[in-house]
Structure 1
Amino acid sequence: MKKLILSAIAATLVASPMAIAAADAAPVQRERTVTTVKERPNGRTVVTQRTVRNNGPRAWRAGQRFDRRYATNYRVVRDYRTYRLAAPPRGHYWARSGRDAVLVRDNGTVVRVIQRSFR
């Protein structure tokens, strides 16, 4: 009986860090309700509600279309030397999306992504 209890405790100690790591790796799902109120010409008021889900920061990849509406904490990075980024070529700019630095062409195509560039 004592060996059974000790082996159960040992298995719990081994499995608990893996369970915590799996929970941290899962994307954060946040939901919020958006209420829209519209007034019609005949005097009626229409109220619609919908649920919007945000699954956390977006993972950008080269070749994707960059849309700043989907970038978390979007900023154009003008002081790229401070963050040890190379000077962008002509017709490109660095953008911040969460903790990632994204090199974007003027037409909106992602050229390069450097993850965890910002603290």
Structure 2
Amino acid sequence: MFKKIILSAISASVALTPIVAASAEAQTRTVTTVKERRNGTVVQRTVTTRQNNARNWRAGQRFDRRYAPNYRVIDYRQYRGRGLYAPPRGYRWVRSGRDAVLVADRGGTVRTVVTRIYR
């Protein structure tokens, strides 16, 4: 009886190994798009996505809430101990996955990103 349990556990771990390895690869993905314009200039755009299609936001990018899982506007006073501060006029803090992003009200430009403030 004990021998059957051990053999079934070993066979299950061998069968699940490729699935676990594939899910680790799917957690981060980088896509680079290269376009050549008529005037000969080349435009290159790189987007890195994490699990659940969450982006690694950087200052200057345009924020799109479609790529922000758990999107909601944040009250910065609840997270002062984690690095958030009062947003300047015309900006607001929003949540994107585990990160807090300071976004302009008009245009949606990212100004600051505070990573991993949520568990």
Return the TM-score normalized by structure 1: 0.54
Larger radius of gyration: 1
Deviations 1:54-96 (A, max 9, x none): 8522110000000111101101002x12111100000000000
* Aligned alpha-carbon RMSD (Å): 2.7
Match of 1:75 in 2: 72
Partner of 2:116: 116
In 1: Cα distance, 2:60 partner to 2:100 partner: 15
Q: Is the 8 A contact 2:50 2:56 kept in 1?
A: no
**Kept after mapping to 1: 8 A contact 2:58/2:110:** yes
CA contact (8 A) 2:104 2:111 kept: yes
CA–CA distance in 2 between the matches of 1:55 and 1:98? 9
Equivalent residue letter for 1:88: P
Scaled by the length of structure 2, the TM-score of the pair is 0.54
* More helix by percentage: 2
> Percent sequence identity over matched residues?
61
The correspondence of residues 1-119 of structure 1 with structure 2, limited to 5 A, is: 24=24, 26-28=25-27, 56=51, 57-78=54-75, 80-84=76-80, 85-107=84-106, 108-119=108-119
CA distance in 2, matches of 1:74, 1:67: 10
Q: Distance in 1 between matches of 2:110 and 2:64?
A: 10
5+ residue gaps, structure 1, are: 1-19, 30-53
Query: Where in structure 1 do 4 or more consecutive aligned residues deviate above 3 Å?
Result: none
Gaps of 5+ in 2: 1-19, 29-48
Letter matched to residue 67 of structure 2: Y
SS at match of 1:104: strand
Work out whether residues 104 and 111 of structure 1, in 8 Å CA contact, stay in contact via their aligned partners in 2: yes
